[in-house]
Chains A and B, each alone.
Chain A
């Protein structure tokens, strides 16, 4: 077998989004040597694309009468639990709501420059499901600010960066994860990392769907590598459909239109010009009475947030996405099969200042001036609520030596994530996982790397290049996307899910025999061959869990089980493990919430 380089670190961080970078800083500050691996260049992870803001209850905003709005970690806790339809891990939410403000202020110390209030504090904007103005932001490019700040800080604390390396397998010594294996995308050379602890911060998965806001990176490698190494996954059926993706022109379909548009007063209209979110049918009982009931009230709210209720466009994402879906199904869709999102009434100057990148995106790529015309939008696959199950305090997974944080981890968001909660998730739990991994690394020696595991993976990787004939990975990908888009999207049924599962199994069989042209030197076709196998397995898990959960909750909307079943399904998470080549699904009771947190829900939930 060919030679490969081996690098040794106390802590190996996989992923250079916000979660990975924050973990690097934490592990470095704890005195560990740190290696960072990512598939793209530094600063290009999904985090860079985030627009709307980072949610943290800083309570910076004032009412017209000069009083503070009154936000607190308690209200953020309750909003997040409600938004997640109470499937969330309460302890994670508690830690999250309490620590988010500190983490955001720390970004400022690292060099982030947020928009300011008239008093000179960090400005906050309203977002779906958040009771108060809570999203700390920089126009509509908050993710860029966050990733660049953390990138510069992480570089400043000192680490070894391996850019454009794809890891494909975690290496184990007995029960414990002791390293990882992969290849340099540019040269195709193999590389081994030996580490006392590994932090997975590989982000989400959306590429198995046809229309998604995710980049090529979102193929589920991290979550499947963990699963293959024995880790438990949680809530995998919960995939977020962001209500407003672009729908026209065709090449832009799926690209995100930030919720910030609605936060800044944007309204949703159907083809008849009706502001359909006021339709009482779309109002979930949990939120009844908390939102404006007339467009006039919603209009007044723009200037006086204390004495008026929020517009229903700011309901949680699952609710708005379903409403859009139903409007289009009912024949009230826009020209290209979506609905209209109109922010023109806010005036050109305001729009260009608060939503500059949306203005530019539509202007340059959509032939549309959003200060003059409404946008056309339709739900797009956006975010994975589910993921690797972790210990709230440390990010430890169920496998020793393996930690996880950020979108790849599950449990915080329950059945639906509120906008803005992901950027605070990645900094809160990125730090915790970095601390957790560093503490663990100090208690163990390096493990032994088993060459047999590497050889097996090498064979697996090289097979498509050596094959004389076989399937094209792009073709399999296309068929997977069609099946998932059709059957495992926003509205699900048993029949559709079973059809989808059958298709996935057929594709998994066909994917055992792939063939790609060219050599190992920066060859996207070859990379696609490994990615597709991760995507197929991740899709299978999503579909199986969607079949298992026979109710509608958050992002899981089953047409054949339209009701929320709190008595049974509301009390269990679905936990997935891989046994042999099969997935095992367990219904595990939610941990019991302590009385003082229950009391908070009573107090602020109404």
Chain B
């Protein structure tokens, strides 16, 4: 049987190193299969996340030869050199081996209120045409793998998690902002708390999205335009004030109660 060489990061906050494993290959094998082989046959304590093994849940994110990838969607035969390096996502604090603390993503996500239906459709079945929801459905394909967050330089190199929600949350906000029935004004949050201005459209996020969501072209750029229209365009502002452009009036963010959801995570200290 043929073999593949895996160099897997082993370690935690105290430090770590790449450890080399030889794993027999099978037709159609993916990197996650190789990780499972190691756990089962070589070292049961190798930490990695996974659930669906079919690129549907977004659990198995890691960096394969330095690129943010889903391990269950990375075919071993894509790497003909026969050496594959697997390391954890770099933009998030390391827990152990391939597992990082991604809870920040859930905490910022919790700041985005869910859909608030327009008063005229509240409690009634929606009537929406397919072409009016195509756009929103693209964004709702997101599996929350956070690979886009991992690659975005604002979060990865500059660690501006205090100022920018990141591309995943831009996609989430786009799905709400462009939902035909949503009644909440999302633009204020986009501009301020979510920090859309931090994005300088490098498109790295779009390149790594396993769901092929056009994060920059379809979500971030149109959102930037909407925010700009609202806040920075004097002509639009004037036309609106004299009533030549009508924009639907949506209710402000602070009109909905913001219930506190707490996401608990464990400290990075090793239990003895």
Contact = CB atoms under 8 A, between A and B. Distances in A.
A49 B73 contact: no
Interface of B: 12, 26-30, 33, 39-41, 43-59, 73, 75, 95-97, 99, 101-103, 106, 109-110, 112-115, 117, 122-123, 125-130, 133, 136-137, 140-144, 175-176, 179, 182, 259-267, 269-272
Dominant secondary structure of chain B at its interface with chain A: loop
A111 B114 contact: yes
A160 B137 contact: no
A251 B33 contact: yes
Contacts of B262: 159-161
A113 B54 contact: no
The 8 closest A-B pairs by CB, nearest first: A249-B28, A525-B44, A158-B259, A518-B45, A111-B115, A120-B127, A187-B266, A522-B47
Contact of B55 (A42, A360, A367): A360
Interface stretch (A148-156, A226-234, A305-313): A148-156
B114 A110 contact: yes
A186 interface: yes
Nearest to B137: A113
B40 to A, nearest CB: 5
A155 B114 CA distance: 9
A184 B267 CA distance: 10
Interface centre among B12, B44, B112 (most CB of A within 10 A): B44
Contact of B129 (A120, A159, A517): A120
Contacts of A159: 261-262
Nearest to B35: A524
7 contacts: A44-B52, A109-B123, A160-B261, A187-B267, A255-B54, A519-B271, A528-B44
Nearest to B28: A249
A163 B263 contact: yes
Contacts of B123: 109
A141 B114 contact: no
A105 interface: yes
A162 B114 contact: no
A285 interface: no
Nearest to B125: A105
Contact of A116 (B75, B103, B133): B133
B53 A186 contact: no
Contacts of A2: 272
A17 B58 CA distance: 15
Given A156-B259, A163-B103, A365 B30 contact: yes
Interface in A197-219: 215-217
Contact of B44 (A144, A148, A357, A474): A474
A74 to B, nearest CB: 20
A44 B59 contact: yes
Nearest to A255: B54
A374 interface: no
Interface in A504-531: 516-526, 528
Contacts of A216: 50-51
B86 to A, nearest CB: 15
Nearest to B26: A250
A153 B51 CA distance: 23
A361 interface: yes
A485 interface: no
B39 A474 contact: yes
Given A141-B141, A524-B39, A524-B46, A217 B51 contact: yes
Contact of B28 (A141, A250, A517, A526): A250
Contact of B136 (A113, A256, A364, A522): A113
B49 A40 contact: yes
A248 B28 contact: yes
A122 B113 CA distance: 24
A155 B261 contact: yes
A473 B175 CA distance: 44
Contacts of B58: 43-44
Nearest to A139: B137
B128 A116 contact: yes
A562 interface: no
B127 A119 contact: yes
A523 B44 contact: yes
A144 B143 contact: yes
Contacts of A154: 261
Nearest to B139: A113
A189 B96 CA distance: 15
B9 to A, nearest CB: 13
A521 B270 contact: yes
A115 B122 contact: no
